[in-house]
Amino acid sequence: MKKALLIIDMQNDFLPGGSLAVPDGDAIIPVINDIQSCFDLIIATQDWHPPQHGSFAASHPGRDVFDKIILNGLEQVLWPAHCIQGTYGAGFASGLLLNNVSAVIRKGTHMNTDSYSGFFDNNKQHSTGLLGLLKELQVHEVYVCGLAADYCVYYTAKDAVENGFSTFFIEDATKPISENNYQLIKQELIKKNVMFIKSSNLKK
């Protein structure tokens, strides 16, 4: 029964000091490093936006950060510009161990569609290749961690369980943007049979 760890978007722009910082986002780096030895396969996702991406508030004159618009038929939160291809902000956290990462899945590359999930863009028109890779490598259990708990980690976990993987959400290896939002998505994922665990459960 192969187990894969998906490290979601542990990038500089999501860490303290970054353009879209998750509170205490850097605090989970030691936890993620510590659990890597528990897995058969480790894959990291990387937000990788073109400049002037449609999800950026700066791409919509007159709009402010966190406004909501309709983008390509879907409701879209407008974010500060972040994780622009090739920039420091798009790079992985310097303290994150990457030696054991077998593949990096880049997402958010299409100009007018955001991509929260590591599997697909938000309107499910484009696959990142992650689903095919996990199936080809005969992975049955998927464990998610990284940033942010209530956005990209949530959507990745949701797609994982809906595509037939036993899915585990490592609570102390992720941080939310909003604690209230996190509690809502946690209840939703539990109803979908996603299991919430602590990193200490992996070491037993």
Residues recognised as catalytic: 9, 107, 152
Q: What is the DSSP string of 20-46?
A: TPPTTGGGGHHHHHHHGGG-SEEEEEE
Q: Tell me how far apart the alpha carbons of residues 17 and 114 are, in angstroms, rounded to a whole number.
A: 23
* Residue at 139: amino acid letter: V
Give the burial string for 113-141 (b: 16+ CB within 10 Å, else e).
Answer: bbbbbbbbbbeeeeebebbebbeeeebeb
Give residue 158's Cα distance to chain centre.
11
Give residue 124's Cα distance to chain centre.
16
Q: From the CB of residue 162, how many other CB atoms can be counted at a distance below 10 Å?
A: 12
Nearest to 6 by CA among 118, 121, 164, 128: 118
